[in-house]
């Protein structure tokens, strides 16, 4: 039994979306979220996807419920656009701060980033991902290769502690150590005035750890398919590790905290 849930923060891929299952979404979980929204809770999708990739995901998987907020790229905070066209707009000045802190970081961490790029290109088969302003992250061939890459970055970043990364299966995004899903969730909670005690969060992978350690959400949870590190963090924070996987596990956790 938890406090009343006023803000729900769920990861997307591997948490609500079961890519290898049919159906991909758990209908009962979506119903439950819809019902909680009707009763006044806000629902945020907190994902590593960009706004564009999340929008296409919501369409592709035919989401029956629309999120109230989206927290994207493991750092940005968006609310529905005020022009009512169904799009999203930056919520407050957070995203600007995120962008300028990252621009500053990537210029001061240039040599560490160059070392990482050298290692990745010379010692691995991983593919580097670029965006307009430079390098964004990489995609490893498999999780073992990603383990080798993160081991290398963990050593290289000792010289530049603000330089960090978010890891999600074979995907990795470089980032400033102050920005992650937990920080984006805390900013949203501040903007809509919801205390930590009334926040539920659910995720399945490394990049979800920052919102599941109990610091920003008093009710952390994970589905049964979450990686062991996530289950351990959720357990240590007094959260709920579901018996069921994906959306069914999220629904199970929501019921656990509301009944
Ligand atoms: Mg995930």
Centre of ligand 1 from the C-alpha of residue 208, in Å: 7
Q: Across residues 59-76, what is the average pLDDT?
A: 97
Number of domains in the chain: 2
Q: Please give the angle made by the CA atoms of 15, 19 and 20, to the nearest 5 degrees.
A: 120
Whether the predicted pLDDT of 1 surpasses 70: no
Residue 85 is predicted with a pLDDT of 85
Q: pTM for this one?
A: 0.95
Centre of ligand 1 from the C-alpha of residue 207, in Å: 8
Centre of ligand 1 from the C-alpha of residue 108, in Å: 30
pLDDT in tens, 147-183: 999 999 999 999 999 999 999 999 999 999 999 999 9
Residue 194 is predicted with a pLDDT of 98
Under the banding of pLDDT at 50, 70 and 90, the label for residue 3 is confident
Q: What sign has the CA pseudo-torsion 42, 36, 194, 222?
A: negative
160 and 201, same domain (yes or no) = no
Centre of ligand 1 from the C-alpha of residue 196, in Å: 22
Centre of ligand 1 from the C-alpha of residue 14, in Å: 4
Centre of ligand 1 from the C-alpha of residue 48, in Å: 8
Task: Confirm whether 86 is domain-assigned.
Answer: no
Please provide the average confidence, as pLDDT, over all residues in the chain: 96
Three-state DSSP class for residue 221:
strand
Which of the listed residues 176, 192, 223 is the one where a domain comes to its end?
A: 176
Residue 174 is predicted with a pLDDT of 96
Under the banding of pLDDT at 50, 70 and 90, the label for residue 2 is low
Task: Confirm whether 11 is domain-assigned.
Answer: yes
Centre of ligand 1 from the C-alpha of residue 46, in Å: 9
Residue-number span of the structural domain to which 126 is assigned: 112-176
Q: What is the CATH number of the domain that holds 46?
A: 3.40.50.1000
pLDDT in tens, 233-254: 999 999 999 999 999 999 999 9
Whether the predicted pLDDT of 131 surpasses 90: no
How many angstroms separate the CA atoms of 10 and 2, rounded?
Answer: 17
How many angstroms separate the CA atoms of 149 and 146, rounded?
Answer: 5
């Amino acid at each position: 039994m938890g406090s009343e849930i006023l803000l729900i923060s769920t990861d997307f891929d591997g948490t609500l979306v079961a890519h290898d299952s049919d159906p991909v979404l758990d209908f009962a979980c979506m119903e439950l979220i819809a019902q909680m929204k009707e009763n006044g809770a806000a629902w945020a999708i907190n994902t590593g996807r960009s706004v564009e990739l999340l929008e296409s995901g919501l369409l592709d998987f035919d989401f029956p419920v629309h999120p109230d907020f989206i927290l994207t790229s493991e750092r940005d905070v968006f609310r529905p656009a005020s022009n009512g066209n169904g799009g999203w707009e930056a919520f407050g000045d957070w995203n600007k701060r995120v962008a300028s802190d990252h621009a500053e970081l990537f210029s001061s961490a240039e040599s560490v980033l160059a070392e990482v790029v050298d290692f990745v290109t010379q010692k691995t088969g991983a593919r580097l991902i670029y965006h307009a302003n430079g390098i964004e992250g990489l995609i490893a061939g498999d999780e073992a290769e990603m383990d080798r890459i993160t081991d290398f970055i963990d050593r290289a970043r000792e010289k530049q502690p603000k330089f960090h990364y978010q890891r999600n299966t074979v995907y990795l995004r470089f980032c400033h150590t102050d920005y992650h899903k937990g920080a984006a969730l805390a900013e949203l909670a501040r903007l809509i005035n919801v205390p930590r005690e009334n926040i539920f969060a659910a995720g399945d992978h490394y990049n979800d750890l920052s919102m599941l350690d109990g610091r920003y959400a008093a009710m952390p949870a994970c589905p049964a398919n979450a990686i062991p590190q996530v289950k351990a963090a959720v357990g240590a924070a007094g959260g709920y590790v579901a018996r069921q996987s994906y959306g069914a596990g999220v629904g199970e956790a929501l019921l656990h905290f509301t009944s």
